[in-house]
Structure 1
């Protein structure tokens, strides 16, 4: 199976390494020239639990060089999805299956502008990775399934996803096809919406925000609204389950971490707000559920990004 990782940063490179080890023909596609050159010249160095492995790999920022693929896994930031699909259209033909494992909610709708439902899959990852340097990533797997995904067309199971399960398993990663993938996506949204942008707005790490009265109440409100929206969409998560998932099952291990959205704010970069709290706000308006706290987080972050250059 020929697979392109569209967006081969830290996460994309780590995910692709599992496919490489599983025997797939993998292309790492990215605009980061130093990373692309390092992979082509020296291989992809992958660290897991202080064990290093160098994998012979192919990378490019040119769709024509890569050619049409059987599967394209989209891992660019949500705000770049549309541009990436248009710019790298040479990766796709009418048989290509497209799988998004991006953060947040809203990427599938963008993919539907370009591809038929039968050729779209979506899911969520429980993987952490960081870029050590060009051509070198360090990754961490969790105690959960590393990836959960499904096809957008609910009438059939795409054979490409069944094959991906097998390839990932051979490569040491646990991927599961599940018709219940939406629940896993919204559970990850709980954590992302509670910390990614709020920590950046307040200028603290996850534990520091949680330990303040105001931060705690803010996160409780964000999650309450999010679950009301998810429930209205048919996702079966209770408020108690959601809070336990965030505060007890996830936060203790990542208290000292600055989430990715917060790191973007530190660097005065555009964030994925429209696919996180902004998505909760947008969907809430569409289905008639009030989300004033997520609305406010979204407005504040938009204003912050629009004024990066003039802030004191």
Structure 2
């Protein structure tokens, strides 16, 4: 399968590495020239507990060098969706599939506006990954990917993508309820990311302080109220306990939003806690804690690198 990874940072780099190692024709595309040059000259370095693995990969800044792929792994930050989708117009073929497992909500809508809804597969991932520097990533030791068609059907193209990842050694799950999948993951991000970005605590440490544990419960409860009003059900029985369980199981992880703040980069808070605020306003549901955290993260963003 010919695959273009559009946005080759943490998750894009990790998924691309799996597929590259399994023999797929993978091109890593990224606008970060330093990152791409490092991959071109020295390879993509994947740091694990067992040591470093260096992969000789094809990496480009010019998306047109990716050819016409069978699959685009759409892994840019949410605020870059529109521009990245327009760039993808240069390479999509009649049967090109676009897969997004991005954090937050609104990603599908942004992509479909440019590329069309019929191309999109969507889902979530339980993998975590940190960018250590140009051409260097450090993934979690375990994880999985869950994806599905937007209409809940099981199609040959969905199965082809699932089989391709399984061949690469990835634990895969097929979902008939993409909205439930995405909103369950959204609430995990709502409960962890902004708090970690503000406090600089690890995921697990958020549960060790009465104040952050209480704030986590509050933002998750607000998010659950919004989801209920939208008619969305979660993939778990107790969403707050699920968020706490993820915090515990990823105890030492630095949340992606904390990583962004540490780099002085723009965050995805508007697609996560900010999305709860926006939907709450639309539905008449108060979300004061999410609004406060969103404003605090945006203030820290504007202040710049810590």
Q: 1:21 to 1:164 in 2, by over 3 A?
A: farther
Counterpart position of 1:172? 169
Q: Please state if 1:162 is matched with 2:159.
A: yes
Counterpart position of 2:226? 229
The 3-state SS of whatever aligns with 2:147 is: strand
Q: CA RMSD in A?
A: 2.6
Deviations 1:160-184 (A, max 9, x none): 3211111111111112221133333
**C-alpha distance in 2 between matches for 1:258 and 1:137:** 13
Query: Contact 1:72–1:91 at 8 Å: present in 2 too?
Result: no
Deviations 1:19-67 (A, max 9, x none): 1233321110012323323333444343444154443421111122112
Paired positions, count: 306
Deviations 1:189-234 (A, max 9, x none): 2221112112322344444443333322211110111112223333
Query: Contact 1:183–1:237 at 8 Å: present in 2 too?
Result: yes
Counterpart position of 1:9? 9
**C-alpha distance in 1 between matches for 2:171 and 2:123:** 13
**C-alpha distance in 2 between matches for 1:42 and 1:282:** 43
The 3-state SS of whatever aligns with 2:8 is: coil
Counterpart position of 2:287? 291
Deviating 4+ runs (over 6 angstroms): none
Residues 174-183 or 218-227, more deviating: 174-183
Q: Displacement, 1:261? A: 0.9
Counterpart position of 2:240? 243
Q: TM-score, normalised by structure 1?
A: 0.87
The 3-state SS of whatever aligns with 1:92 is: coil
The 3-state SS of whatever aligns with 2:113 is: coil
Counterpart position of 1:188? 185
Query: Contact 2:280–2:286 at 8 Å: present in 1 too?
Result: yes
Query: Contact 1:118–1:153 at 8 Å: present in 2 too?
Result: no
Query: Contact 1:2–1:25 at 8 Å: present in 2 too?
Result: yes
Query: Contact 2:5–2:12 at 8 Å: present in 1 too?
Result: yes
Q: Any stretches of 5+ residues in structure 2 without a counterpart?
A: none
Counterpart position of 1:260? 256
Q: TM-score, normalised by structure 2?
A: 0.89
Q: 1:140 to 1:236 in 2, by over 3 A?
A: same
Residues 235-244 or 283-292, more deviating: 235-244
The 3-state SS of whatever aligns with 2:46 is: strand
Q: Any stretches of 5+ residues in structure 1 without a counterpart?
A: none
Residues 31-40 or 74-83, more deviating: 31-40
Q: Please state if 1:280 is matched with 2:292.
A: no
**C-alpha distance in 1 between matches for 2:101 and 2:116:** 18
**C-alpha distance in 2 between matches for 1:253 and 1:101:** 20
**C-alpha distance in 2 between matches for 1:264 and 1:284:** 26
Deviations 1:94-140 (A, max 9, x none): 43221111111111110121122211111101112233444343322
Counterpart position of 2:298? 302
**C-alpha distance in 2 between matches for 1:148 and 1:241:** 19
Counterpart position of 2:198? 201
Q: 1:86 to 1:115 in 2, by over 3 A?
A: closer
Counterpart position of 1:148? 146
**C-alpha distance in 2 between matches for 1:45 and 1:240:** 39
Note the 1:21-32 alignment, pairs <5 A.
21-32=21-32
